[in-house]
C-alpha cells in the first residue's frame, strides 16, 4: 500500500491542532517488469492532534460521512477557506496518484515510464482456462 497526503489547512483550538488533509492510497505491486495496481482510494480527513511529551499524538481522525464527493461533510469538517481546496483535491486528485505511482516504481526498481497494469486488465488478456 502506497499513500500520499496533501495538507490543506491547519487550525488551532485551545489545546489541539486540527489538520485537514486529502489522502490517496493505492495497492501497487511488482510482477516481473509490471507495476500491478489493485484497489485504492482518495478522501478528505480531519485529524485532531495534541502535543504530548514534546511530540504530537493523533487523537481522532474524522472522515466524510455522505455520498458523492462528500460535499456537505467536507464543508463541515474544513474551514470556509480550506473546504474548496479539499473538495478539488478529492475530486481530481491533482497529481497525487502520480506521486504514489512514482514512489512505487522507485521502491520496486522499475523504470519511471512503467505504466500501471490493473488486475482486471491482466485477467482479460490471459488465456481462457479449460
Q: H helices within the chain, ranges in order?
A: 71-77, 83-92, 96-108, 119-125
pTM assigned to the model: 0.79
pLDDT digits (tens, 9 = 90+) for 4-37: 999 999 999 888 999 999 999 999 999 999 999 9
Residue 125 confidence (pLDDT): 60
Residue 13 confidence (pLDDT): 86
pLDDT digits (tens, 9 = 90+) for 59-97: 999 999 876 668 899 999 999 999 999 999 888 876 898
Amino acid at each position: 500500500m502506497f499513500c500520499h497526503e496533501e495538507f490543506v489547512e491547519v487550525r488551532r483550538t485551545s489545546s489541539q491542532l486540527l489538520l485537514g488533509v486529502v489522502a490517496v492510497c493505492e495497492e501497487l505491486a511488482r510482477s516481473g517488469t509490471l507495476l500491478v495496481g489493485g484497489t485504492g482510494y482518495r478522501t478528505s480527513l480531519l485529524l485532531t492532534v495534541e502535543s504530548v511529551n514534546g511530540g504530537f499524538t493523533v487523537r481522532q481522525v474524522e472522515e466524510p460521512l455522505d455520498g458523492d464527493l462528500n460535499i456537505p461533510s467536507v464543508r463541515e469538517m474544513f474551514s470556509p477557506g480550506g473546504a474548496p481546496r479539499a473538495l478539488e483535491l478529492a475530486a481530481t486528485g491533482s497529481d497525487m496518484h502520480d506521486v504514489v505511482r512514482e514512489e512505487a516504481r522507485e521502491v520496486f526498481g522499475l523504470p519511471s515510464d512503467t505504466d500501471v497494469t490493473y488486475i482486471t486488465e491482466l485477467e482479460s488478456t490471459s488465456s481462457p482456462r479449460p
